Amino acid sequence: MFRFETGNDEVARRQFSNMRKKHDLLFKRGLRRALPELTPTVFEQHWQFLYTEASTGQWVRAYLLGEPAEGKWTPRREERHLSCHLDYVVGGLQAPVSQ
Protein backbone atom coordinates (compact mmCIF):
# COMPACT_ATOMS: atom_id res chain seq x y z
CA MET A 1 0.00 0.00 0.00
CA PHE A 2 2.79 2.41 0.92
CA ARG A 3 4.42 2.02 -2.48
CA PHE A 4 1.14 2.63 -4.31
CA GLU A 5 0.45 5.70 -2.14
CA THR A 6 3.85 7.27 -2.68
CA GLY A 7 4.94 5.97 -6.07
CA ASN A 8 5.64 8.03 -9.17
CA ASP A 9 2.91 6.42 -11.27
CA GLU A 10 0.03 8.94 -11.17
CA VAL A 11 -2.44 6.55 -12.79
CA ALA A 12 -1.65 3.79 -10.28
CA ARG A 13 -1.93 6.24 -7.36
CA ARG A 14 -5.31 7.51 -8.55
CA GLN A 15 -6.69 4.01 -9.17
CA PHE A 16 -5.45 2.79 -5.81
CA SER A 17 -6.92 5.82 -4.07
CA ASN A 18 -10.34 5.31 -5.66
CA MET A 19 -10.40 1.62 -4.71
CA ARG A 20 -9.11 2.27 -1.20
CA LYS A 21 -11.64 5.00 -0.29
CA LYS A 22 -14.62 2.63 -0.44
CA HIS A 23 -12.95 0.00 1.73
CA ASP A 24 -11.63 2.59 4.18
CA LEU A 25 -15.11 4.01 4.68
CA LEU A 26 -16.63 0.58 5.33
CA PHE A 27 -13.84 -0.32 7.77
CA LYS A 28 -14.08 3.01 9.57
CA ARG A 29 -17.87 2.70 9.96
CA GLY A 30 -17.50 -0.82 11.31
CA LEU A 31 -14.88 0.27 13.83
CA ARG A 32 -17.00 3.21 14.90
CA ARG A 33 -19.95 0.90 15.59
CA ALA A 34 -17.65 -1.42 17.56
CA LEU A 35 -16.19 1.44 19.64
CA PRO A 36 -19.16 3.65 20.55
CA GLU A 37 -17.61 4.64 23.89
CA LEU A 38 -14.87 6.68 22.21
CA THR A 39 -15.59 10.35 21.69
CA PRO A 40 -15.50 11.46 18.04
CA THR A 41 -12.19 13.27 18.62
CA VAL A 42 -10.50 10.30 20.29
CA PHE A 43 -11.87 7.92 17.66
CA GLU A 44 -10.56 10.12 14.84
CA GLN A 45 -7.09 10.30 16.41
CA HIS A 46 -6.99 6.52 16.82
CA TRP A 47 -8.29 6.09 13.25
CA GLN A 48 -5.56 8.31 11.86
CA PHE A 49 -2.90 6.45 13.82
CA LEU A 50 -4.26 3.08 12.68
CA TYR A 51 -4.43 4.27 9.08
CA THR A 52 -0.86 5.54 9.14
CA GLU A 53 0.37 2.29 10.60
CA ALA A 54 -1.57 0.20 8.10
CA SER A 55 -0.54 2.23 5.07
CA THR A 56 3.17 2.25 5.86
CA GLY A 57 3.10 -1.43 6.64
CA GLN A 58 6.02 -3.78 6.22
CA TRP A 59 8.24 -1.24 4.47
CA VAL A 60 8.52 0.95 7.56
CA ARG A 61 8.75 -2.01 9.92
CA ALA A 62 11.66 -3.38 7.91
CA TYR A 63 13.25 0.07 7.83
CA LEU A 64 12.96 0.37 11.61
CA LEU A 65 14.73 -2.96 11.93
CA GLY A 66 17.48 -1.83 9.56
CA GLU A 67 16.66 -4.56 7.07
CA PRO A 68 15.54 -4.41 3.45
CA ALA A 69 11.79 -4.12 2.92
CA GLU A 70 11.83 -7.15 0.64
CA GLY A 71 13.14 -9.41 3.42
CA LYS A 72 11.04 -12.32 4.55
CA TRP A 73 9.49 -12.44 8.01
CA THR A 74 11.03 -15.11 10.20
CA PRO A 75 10.26 -15.92 13.84
CA ARG A 76 13.45 -14.10 14.90
CA ARG A 77 12.64 -11.05 12.79
CA GLU A 78 9.06 -10.98 14.07
CA GLU A 79 10.36 -11.05 17.66
CA ARG A 80 12.73 -8.15 16.90
CA HIS A 81 9.91 -6.25 15.28
CA LEU A 82 7.66 -6.67 18.29
CA SER A 83 10.34 -5.56 20.72
CA CYS A 84 11.11 -2.44 18.61
CA HIS A 85 7.63 -1.57 17.49
CA LEU A 86 5.17 -2.50 20.23
CA ASP A 87 5.88 0.57 22.36
CA TYR A 88 5.31 2.78 19.32
CA VAL A 89 1.89 1.27 18.62
CA VAL A 90 0.75 1.27 22.24
CA GLY A 91 2.03 4.80 22.72
CA GLY A 92 0.24 6.03 19.64
CA LEU A 93 -3.08 4.59 20.70
CA GLN A 94 -2.72 5.91 24.25
CA ALA A 95 -1.48 9.38 23.32
CA PRO A 96 -3.65 12.23 24.55
CA VAL A 97 -5.81 13.95 21.99
CA SER A 98 -4.34 17.30 21.02
CA GLN A 99 -7.56 18.97 19.85
pLDDT value at position 29? 94
Handedness of CA 76, 87, 93, 66 (dihedral sign): negative
pTM: 0.57
Is residue 49 scored above 90 in pLDDT? no
First to last CA, the chain: 28
3-state secondary structure of 98: coil
Backbone φ and ψ of 73, nearest 5°: -75, 130
CB 41 within 8 A of CB 32: no
**Average pLDDT for 43-67:** 72
Residue 92 has pLDDT above 80, yes or no: no
**What is the rounded average pLDDT of the residues 30-50?**
89
